[in-house]
Amino acid sequence: MTDALFMPLLFTRDVLDPIPELGARRDNEPVSVLELPFGIKAWLVTGYDAAKEVLGDATTFSNAFGNLGEADEQDPGGLGMTDPPYHTKLRRLLTPEFTMRRLLRLQSRIDAIVTEQLDAIESAGAPADLVHLFALPIPSLVICELLGVPYSDRDDFQALSTARFDLAGEASPLDTIGTSLDYLQTLVQRERARPGEGLLGMLIREHGDELSDRELAGIADGILTGGHETTASTLSLGVLALLQSPDYFAQLASADADAVHRAVEELLRYLTVVQVAFPRFARTDIEIGGVQIPAGQMVLVSLSAADRDAILAAEGHPVMDAFDPTRPAGSHLAFGYGIHRCVGAELARMELRAAFPALARRFPTLRLAVPTTDLTFRNSSIVYSVQTLPVAW
């Protein structure tokens, strides 16, 4: 029988919490069978240890796009759906662009972008929509800085990036991949003619001969789609979580670096906005968490279930389904694990650590302008998010 509930099970939440069925499945059967439509059988991994075993074993599990049976021209390129040795080559090229030393050059731009968006909220006046005035523009503008994308193109970018993750959207995800790659190839050609100071310009200067335009566009696409909506969702849902504890939100205004670090790590864990990792395919028969997975079958790792596994509980902080900003920062899987672990994790952290306290300083009395029940969530999206977040102060 088809597990018709697999979409709600993996993607639907009750406001910020995964539905209880997902937690129950993790607690009873950390590795379980998932019957997908068209008779496809897959495996669902919900336990934290089993999730790390799968994500940490790139020898047994393949991420290659080819496993999905789609035409090659639909391949978005980039890192997420590639295996070594090609993945290793791309990752080596990108890693130097994401070292703390290079990222710190963006810190003052991040601070300035956050301030500009706070000004935009203030001039819009209450009620203001934090998704469109704060959560979406901040990471979009930061990625434009990082890549060297002209500002005039960024609205199109934002629309494409959002559409890419919405499984129930009007355009199929694969169509939007095509449109976004076409745009990015044009950008790459412009950068080839006159390499700028951004990541694309640097890659072209240092490795231009080793990479085709299609490959460069794929790398840029991976960064854009990997870094935009994920950070935007963590920002908007993070504000929603923080506003559920208004006293704590107000304290963030004067919190020291340690407290901000703990709060951001807890938001990343509690929200785990990338609900499911890229599909993995077993190359050989393998046992995970005591369950036999036959060669060739697909494995879906539910990061949101794994990040609430009781195994992560610390002394004095037992309830993993609760948002507890004083919880000691632990090893959550919000950025994944293993060779595909998020390359932009430190950049995302820089944005989140800058944005939340700055928001609390500017609007210490911030509150939701509508009841939570009026909010619309994207319940069929790999990246969980809220459509709008009207606030007043």
CA–CA gap between residue 255 and residue 247 (Å, rounded)? 12
- Quick one: tokens of 309? 């596994």
Contact 379, 13 (CB under 8 A): yes
CB under 6 A: which stretch of 1-9, 157-165, 246-254, 333-341 binds ligand HEM? 333-341
Cα 355 to chain centroid distance, Å, stands at 17
Binding of ligand HEM by 137 (CB under 6 A): no
What residues between 286 and 305 interact with ligand HEM by CB under 6 A? 303
In DSSP terms, 44 is beta-bridged to 32, 300
Quick one: 119 or 210, whose CB is closer to ligand HEM?
A: 210
Instruction: Work out the end-to-end distance of the chain between its first and last CA atoms, rounded to an integer number of angstroms.
Output: 51
CB of 349 to ligand HEM, least distance (A): 8
CA–CA gap between residue 281 and residue 58 (Å, rounded)? 10
What residues between 348 and 367 interact with ligand HEM by CB under 6 A? 348
Quick one: 122 or 346, whose CB is closer to ligand HEM?
A: 346
Axis-axis angle for helices 213-243, 199-207 (nearest 10): 150
Binding of ligand HEM by 48 (CB under 6 A): no
Backbone angles phi, psi at 41, to 5 degrees: -105, 130
Residues 6+ away with beta carbon under 8 Å from 358 = 111, 114, 115, 118
Residue of 18, 222, 325, 357 that binds ligand HEM (CB under 6 A)? 222
- Quick one: tokens of 278? 């890229």
Of residues 310, 269, 347, the one with CA closest to residue 94? 347
* Residue with the CB atom nearest ligand HEM in the bound state: 344
Binding of ligand HEM by 79 (CB under 6 A): yes
CB of 10 to ligand HEM, least distance (A): 14
Of residues 233, 232, 231, 147, the one with CA closest to residue 195? 147
Please identify which residue in the block is written with the tokens 């506003």. Answer: 243
- Binding residues with ligand HEM: total (CB under 6 A): 26
CB of 147 to ligand HEM, least distance (A): 9
Quick one: 9 or 143, whose CB is closer to ligand HEM?
A: 143
Contact 327, 317 (CB under 8 A): yes
The conformation of residue 334, written as its DSSP 8-state character, comes to: T
Quick one: 74 or 122, whose CB is closer to ligand HEM?
A: 74
CB under 6 A: which stretch of 12-20, 189-197, 274-282, 285-293 binds ligand HEM? 274-282
Quick one: 23 or 77, whose CB is closer to ligand HEM?
A: 77
User: Does residue 375 sit in helix, strand or coil?
Assistant: coil
Binding of ligand HEM by 242 (CB under 6 A): no
CB of 81 to ligand HEM, least distance (A): 8
CB under 6 A: which stretch of 18-26, 36-44, 230-238, 355-363 binds ligand HEM? 230-238
E-strand stretches of 71-223:
128-129
Rounded to the nearest 5 degrees, what angle is found at the Cα of 157, between the Cα atoms of 154 and 162?
A: 130
Residue of 23, 76, 77, 80 that binds ligand HEM (CB under 6 A)? 80
Binding of ligand HEM by 347 (CB under 6 A): yes
Residue of 273, 282, 320, 382 that binds ligand HEM (CB under 6 A)? 273
Element (DSSP H or E) covering residue 276:
none
Binding of ligand HEM by 226 (CB under 6 A): yes
Binding of ligand HEM by 335 (CB under 6 A): yes
**Which residues of the chain form contacts with ligand HEM (CB under 6 A)?**
55, 79-80, 91, 143, 222-223, 226-227, 230-231, 234, 273-274, 277-278, 303, 334-336, 340, 342-344, 347-348
